[in-house]
Amino acid sequence: MTRAVSVIVRRDGVSWSAWSPQCPGLAIAEPTATELRSAFPDALAWYFDGNRDLDMQIHLEQELRGVVIRIAQDTQVWERQLVAGRLGAALGVDSQAAELRSAALNAAGEIVYVCALPSDPVSWLTAQMDDETDAVVVTLPSAESMLWTLQFGTVGSRGEKPSSLRYRPETTFGEIMPTFAGPRLRLSA
C-alpha cells in the first residue's frame, strides 16, 4: 500500500534540509538540492522499515521579508507561485506587512504561509503540519489581486479547538471561504 508522505524542503544558508510531519524526529541536510533529493528517499525507506512504496509530496519553503512561504511542488505549482507572488507584493507594503507578521508563530518561532488553492482539502494542509499545536496560515487567491488567509492549527485565545479540528478532512478551502463574511485579510497586491 502506498503511503503519502509530505516532505518539507528548505534551503538553510549554504545547505538544504528536509523533514516530514509523518516521520517525527527524522530530518536530513545535504550541501545541495540534488544530494538532498537523492538521499531523502533512502532516509524515508529506513524510517518505514524498508518500505519504498511512498508517494512523496514535496513542499518548498523560502524565507521572505520575515515570514516563511511554503509552495507545494505539484501539478498546480504555477498557480501556487502566483499566490506567493501576491503575498510577496503585500509584504512590500508596510501596513500589509505588519498585518501579515502578526500571525501566530509555530514552535520554531516562524510565521508560515502555505500557498493554497480553493480545490485543496483541509487534509492536504494538515498533512504538512507537525501536530495540532503547529501553526500555519493558509493563503488563497481572492478576486483579481487579493489574498484570503486563515490561521490553522493553534488553540485560540479562549481555548477553542484548533481550526484544523473544526473542518472535515475532505472539506475544501473553496467550501470554507464563503462561510466568512469576506476575506479574512484583504491585501491588495
Burial string for 169-185 (b: 16+ CB within 10 Å, else e) reads eeebbeebbeeeeebbb
Assess contact for 7 and 56: CB atoms under 8 A.
yes
- pTM for the model stands at 0.88
- The vertex-131 CA angle with 157 and 97, nearest 5°, equals 55
Encode pLDDT of 121-155 as tens digits. Answer: 999 999 999 876 789 999 999 887 889 999 887 65
Burial class (CB in 10 A: 0-12, 13-18, 19+), 14: exposed
- 56, three cell numbers: 512523496
pLDDT exceeds 70 at position 187: no
What does the alpha-carbon distance between residue 62 and residue 97 come to, in Å, rounded to a whole number? Answer: 16
Question: What is the average per-residue pLDDT within 162-168?
Answer: 65
For 160, half-sphere exposure in the C-beta direction (CA atoms, 13 angstrom radius) is: 8
Q: Which fold has domain 3-58?
A: TTHA1013/TTHA0281-like (3.30.2390)
pLDDT at 28 over 70: yes
List every span in the chain annotated with CATH 3.30.2390.10.
3-58
Q: CA-based Rg of the chain, rounded to a whole angstrom? A: 17
Q: 70 pairs with which residues across the strands?
A: 61, 114
* 65-79 average pLDDT score: 96
Return the residue matching grid coordinates 503519502: 4
